[in-house]
Amino acid sequence: MSEPFRLDDTSADRIRGIRAPLLRWYDANRRDLPWRRTRDPYAIWISEAMLQQTRVETVIPYWERFLDRFPDIASLARAELDEVYAVWTGLGYYSRARNLKAAAESVVRDHGGRLPDDAESLRGLRGIGRYTAGAIASIAFDREEPLVDGNVIRVLARVLGIRADSTRRDVVEAIWSVAGRLVRGTRPGDLNQALMELGATTCTPRSPACLACPIRSRCDAHAAGDAETLPIKPKKAKQKPMRAVAVWIEREGRILAVRRPEEGLMAGLWELPGGEIGTDEAPSDRVAEVLRRHVGLELRGVEPVGSVEHLFTHRRLALDVFRARPVPGGRVRREGFVAHRWLRPEALLELAHAGATRKALALFGVTNEVSARAARDPRDRTPRRPRGASARP
């Protein structure tokens, strides 16, 4: 068993010297992002939730629409989950939307409708972990709370010359400790944002712009000439292959859409009906059986349309897509899905859905552009229902 990772004493001295130049650089070079123009803790919280796993340029319009629709915690807490999904649709990682909604309810119920101003209390809210709590506490409330994300790990691993596996728990804890020392002082929120900004724009994973870096004189990796090799990470495990079928079942100009349970892969999302098959099985041989088992329908005129591939964090999905009509008189009987609806094809893109579904619909010429142009049909709207009631089948 390897010895626990520890930083040497010189690391603390190096850290003390980077704070002032880093803040000066941030003042001169920070990007003008809309959530940096507000001190509203709620707005900052929403931005931090959206920025997880998502690029800044993608987040900006979603953040603006979200705050327009839900301008405060109370309005988010009152909303139906499907209303939240409708604004979130296309941003992905829908568990973030569910967590925001649940946390807003907790804030109203347990905190008088005001977001807590300390990291410990923030971490008691659903979906708020160590990083997000530090971000909100420091940026919105000026608390001396650190945060560590991929950008911060990269910057500090290079500055301190950490040449150990950066995914090891003891290495990560050492970086959190350094970030905790660094954040102490004036402008803790700006300091945290400066670290992330430096990693996002200058100290990048490939071809870092070391000559433009405000702290290069104190950077171990720059001095050693190996900045691009840090941080050290183990090779990613290969994504496990999986195969599934999905069917465009059309009836009187409408298609069948089904909703997954709130747990598991693609939890709570809408999609074309279908199911997983073996990776070595022929999709055309299994499609009728899969649809009969999961939605209880007999199909006719089944024809293949194409296939799409979609990558999840740990899985690689090959989705074979078919078109079919239901045998007259059949009735949907769900197995493994929690709701279903017959709707216009473009309306499915207005519901919470995964990238695989979006790619499948594109095979039929249904895209986000079509959805945006289409007039909303009241029959396709998600019905409002009393809080706590189940979705209408």
**pLDDT per residue over 311-333, tens digit each?**
887 889 999 999 999 999 899 99
Q: For residue range 7-56, what is the model confidence (pLDDT) as tens digits?
A: 765 566 677 789 999 999 999 999 999 999 999 999 999 999 999 989 99
Cβ neighbours of residue 35 closer than 8 Å, sequence gap 6 or more: 43, 44, 46, 47, 63
Q: For residue range 86-104, what is the model confidence (pLDDT) as tens digits?
A: 899 888 888 999 999 999 9
Least confident of 203-212, 247-256, 290-299, 307-316: 307-316
pLDDT of residue 262: 84
Between residues 225 and 11, the one the model is more confident about: 225
- Evaluate whether 128 touches 103 at the Cβ level (below 8 Å): yes
**Which two structure tokens, joined as six digits, stand for 170?**
């003891």
pLDDT of residue 378: 35
pLDDT of residue 79: 96
Q: Is 135's pLDDT higher than 70?
A: yes
pLDDT of residue 314: 85
Least confident of 185-189, 253-257, 288-292, 378-382: 378-382
Q: Is 370's pLDDT higher than 50?
A: no
Q: Where in the chain is the domain with CATH 1.10.340.30?
A: 10-229
Q: Where in the chain is the domain with CATH 3.90.79.10?
A: 240-380
Query: Is CATH 1.10.340.30 what the domain over 10-229 is classified as, yes or no?
Result: yes
Query: In percent, how much of the chain has pLDDT > 90?
Result: 80
pLDDT of residue 333: 94
Q: What are the residue numbers of the active site?
A: 48
Q: Is 393's pLDDT higher than 50?
A: no
pTM: 0.84
Phi-psi map region of 300: left, alpha, beta (phi>0 left; psi -120 to 50 alpha): beta
**Which two structure tokens, joined as six digits, stand for 268?**
């709570």
pLDDT of residue 284: 94
Give domain 240-380's CATH superfamily: Nucleoside Triphosphate Pyrophosphohydrolase (3.90.79.10)
pLDDT of residue 176: 95
Least confident of 11-25, 51-65, 258-272: 11-25
pLDDT of residue 44: 98
Between residues 372 and 93, the one the model is more confident about: 93
Q: Is 382's pLDDT higher than 80?
A: no
Mean pLDDT confidence for 122-127: 97
- The neighbouring-strand residues paired with 325 are 300
